[in-house]
């Protein structure tokens, strides 16, 4: 049985990332990844059973960071009635979102727009569903602390709101042609627009 080496595994992942970003999943060749890694093509399959598994491994750090960002919405410090009136809460979340995009823009483009034919295809809708679940949990947690607030929110509206957030996220990933100051202004306006709506619905 061949001994697997961490340095070879990491070399495969690093080169595969470059190939996926440059050529997309469909046109990335395991043979090319192996050649660039200095190993036989068959040896790649000792580390990864398929191109799909290799693709998932390349995107694993992004998906972990994305999940951490989404879950941060329900952290203890955000379970505070002040979130409806103090902009620092929204600004911190938006700043973290922009940092995530800066750190993983090429991987996000792969995941959101170029994952067809892989097990990660349609991941945008998975994010929407995850965001809906987190939002529902957040409202329940807030209701336990502040019984007077309203959480009788239509699940379909929650889907619409989550889809809107994910679409904004996708726009930020896809477009680099706007100046940073214009992005900041747009996000500030979105935060104000969104928070006014939630205040009207939840009546904190």
Q: Picking from 31-35, 97-101, 109-113, 151-155, which range would have the lowest pLDDT averaged per residue?
A: 97-101
> The pTM is what?
0.90
pLDDT tens digits for range 88-142? 778 888 888 889 999 999 999 999 999 999 999 999 999 999 999 999 999 999 9
Give CATH for domain 1-48.
1.10.10.60
d(CA 124, CA 120): 9
Average the pLDDT over 183-193 and give the result. Answer: 87
Q: Does 51 have pLDDT greater than 90?
A: yes
pLDDT at residue 5 in the model: 87
Q: Does 36 have pLDDT greater than 90?
A: yes
Binned at pLDDT 50, 70 and 90, residue 49 comes out as very high
Specify whether the CB–CB gap between 150 and 202 falls below 8 A. Answer: yes
Task: Look over the chain and give the mean of its residue pLDDT values, rounded to a whole number.
Answer: 92
pLDDT at residue 179 in the model: 86
Q: Does 1 have pLDDT greater than 60?
A: no
Residue 39 phi, psi (nearest 5) = -135, 170
d(CA 195, CA 189): 10
Q: Does 45 have pLDDT greater than 60?
A: yes
CA distances (Å), origin 186, targets 3, 45, 94, 103, 145:
53, 46, 11, 21, 32
Binned at pLDDT 50, 70 and 90, residue 144 comes out as very high
CA distances (Å), origin 111, targets 23, 27, 102, 117:
14, 15, 15, 12
pLDDT at residue 84 in the model: 87
Q: Where are the domains of the chain?
A: 1-48, 59-202
Give CATH for domain 59-202.
1.10.357
């Amino acid at each position: 049985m061949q001994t697997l080496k961490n340095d070879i595994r990491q070399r495969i992942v690093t080169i595969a990332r470059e190939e996926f970003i440059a050529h997309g999943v469909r046109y990335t060749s395991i043979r090319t990844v192996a050649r660039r890694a200095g190993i036989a093509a068959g040896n790649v399959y000792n580390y990864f059973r398929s191109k799909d598994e290799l693709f998932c491994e390349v995107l694993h750090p992004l998906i972990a960071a994305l999940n951490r960002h989404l879950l941060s919405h329900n952290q203890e410090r955000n379970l505070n009635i002040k979130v409806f009136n103090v902009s620092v809460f929204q600004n911190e979340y938006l700043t973290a979102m922009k940092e995530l995009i800066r750190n993983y823009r090429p991987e996000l483009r792969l995941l959101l727009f170029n994952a067809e034919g892989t097990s990660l295809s349609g991941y945008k809708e998975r994010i929407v569903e995850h965001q809906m679940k987190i939002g529902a949990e957040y409202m329940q947690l807030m209701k336990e602390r502040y019984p007077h607030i309203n959480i009788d929110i239509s699940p379909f509206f929650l889907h619409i709101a989550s889809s809107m957030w994910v679409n904004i996220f996708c726009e930020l990933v896809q477009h680099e042609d706007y100046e940073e100051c214009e992005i900041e202004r747009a996000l500030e306006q979105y935060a104000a627009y969104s928070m006014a709506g939630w205040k009207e619905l939840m009546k904190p």
